[in-house]
Amino acid sequence: MKLGARILKTGIAIILALFLAQVLNLPSPVFAGIAAIFAIQPTIYRSYLSVIEQVQGNVIGAFIAVIFVLTLGNNIFIVGLAAILVILLNLKLKLENTIILSLVTLIAIMESPGEEFIQFALIRFSTIVLGIVAAFIVNLVFLPPKYENKLYNKNSLMAEEIFKWIRINTRHASEHQLLKADIEKLREGIHKLERLYLMYKEERDYFKKNSLEKSRKLVIYRQMNATTKKALDTLKRLHRFENEISHMPASFQESLQVQLDCLINHHEQVMLKFAGKIKPEVSYMEGQVCLNKKDLFELFLAQQNEIGESESHVLYHIMQLVSVIMEYGEQVEHLDTLITSFQSYHKEDNQVTVEPNIGD
């Protein structure tokens, strides 16, 4: 189990919230700590949105609490009725994420009405807002997330796993059930890549130069995700049509293996180029040249003469495999073009620094 940045930030936010509440002599500083827990977010941008939403939600909770106490009292049934109204208002205003903290504010204010109830309510409300602000400060200052590193590292690791399985499968050495289980894990990894991309997209740059560079990197990472996903689609087709491939002529199977080796070598080279681990002008293909779409399609058509009528259904499935290999090749080429363009445009910063991954 890793001690991630978010875990550390949550602990620091609670400490800061409790400390500030004690310094300001606010009663029941525990409410500041509770608010800080709910306000911690994975990105600075989401933290900013969370502050706005949480303050709105707490205003709703405090307002309903004051109105109900002044008009109906704080009977336990009245508190429950007020809670229902707070939930409905939050849902109506599309503030679903603030419901729990709004209810905390409601109960914290309604628990002890007295002669100075309004002052008491203001203090409780301020204590909770202080916790939200403390969490925002921690998100802004301590361990700011670097989702570019996470996104590249995750992409690279997933691609390497897919390459390994493609190489094993095209050599008829893969274990069917084990590969099936790994494909499911890789599919889940694609969903995580998409989430990381959204978080990286939400990270804000405050300088125009960095903003322009970031917009170009977003295009590259979107294409990088699409290329990795297409590599996984290729692996899935290889796994699904293992039996059909085995019925094809040995020469076709060998050509398919060479083509896929060429494509994954190209994909590996592009990923290394983006990380600055190889020179942009270097073209490393192990002496092989990938077939273009026309040549690959003609190779497929040539198999019609080799396959008998009884095996004609095999060609239908092989056609799907050849199609996804073509698409994978197009995605790799497009990624290569984007990275080459980026590195030639940003000559002073034509290498991406990829730091070790930091836990969530």
> What is the mean pLDDT, run by run of 10 residues, along the chain of 360 residues?
74 93 90 89 80 91 91 89 94 90 90 77 91 89 76 93 94 90 94 90 63 84 96 94 86 89 92 81 59 80 69 80 92 92 68 49
Inside any domain, residue 323: yes
* Residues 129, 58 contacting (CB under 8 angstroms): yes
Inside any domain, residue 359: no
Distance of CA 125 to the CA centre of its chain: 34
* Domain match, 173 and 154 both: yes
Number of domains in the chain: 2
**pLDDT on residue 311:** 66
**pLDDT on residue 300:** 79
* Domain match, 54 and 9 both: yes
**pLDDT on residue 216:** 86
Please, which contacts does 313-322 make with residues 24 or more away whose CB atoms are closer than 8 Å? Answer: 314/244, 314/247, 314/248, 317/241, 317/244, 318/241, 318/244, 318/245, 318/248, 320/237, 320/241, 321/237, 321/238, 321/241, 321/245, 321/256, 322/296, 322/297
Inside any domain, residue 161: yes
In angstroms, the CA 263 to CA 282 distance is: 16
Inside any domain, residue 78: yes
Q: Among residues 99, 118, 141, which one ends one of the domains?
A: 141
In angstroms, the CA 129 to CA 149 distance is: 33
| Tokens 């942009």, residue located | 280
**pLDDT on residue 351:** 47
DSSP SS3 for 59:
helix
* Domain match, 241 and 112 both: no
**pLDDT on residue 312:** 67
* Domain match, 95 and 203 both: no
* Domain match, 339 and 190 both: yes
In angstroms, the CA 16 to CA 5 distance is: 16
In angstroms, the CA 266 to CA 322 distance is: 18
Q: Among residues 141, 167, 188, which one ends one of the domains?
A: 141
**Running DSSP on this structure, what letter comes out for residue 279?**
-
In angstroms, the CA 184 to CA 178 distance is: 10
- In the numeric block, which tokens belong to residue 171? 């050599």
* Domain match, 261 and 220 both: yes
Task: List the helix and strand counts (H, then E) for the chain.
Answer: 13, 0
* Domain match, 168 and 136 both: no
* Domain match, 77 and 105 both: yes
Inside any domain, residue 360: no
Inside any domain, residue 317: yes
The residue range of the domain holding 11 is 5-141
Q: What is the CATH number of the domain that holds 229?
A: 1.20.58
* Domain match, 130 and 182 both: no
Other Cβ atoms less than 10 A from the Cβ of 82: the count is 23
Inside any domain, residue 172: yes
Q: Among residues 95, 124, 141, which one ends one of the domains?
A: 141
| Tokens 């709004």, residue located | 102
**pLDDT on residue 276:** 80
**pLDDT on residue 169:** 92
* Residues 354, 153 contacting (CB under 8 angstroms): yes
User: The pTM is what?
Assistant: 0.73
* Domain match, 342 and 245 both: yes
CA contacts within 13 A on the Cβ side of 22 = 8
Which of 328, 334, 45 minimizes the C-alpha distance to 214?
45
Inside any domain, residue 238: yes
* Domain match, 137 and 120 both: yes
**pLDDT on residue 301:** 78
What is the crossing angle of helices 208-240 and 147-170, to 10°? 20
* Domain match, 95 and 222 both: no
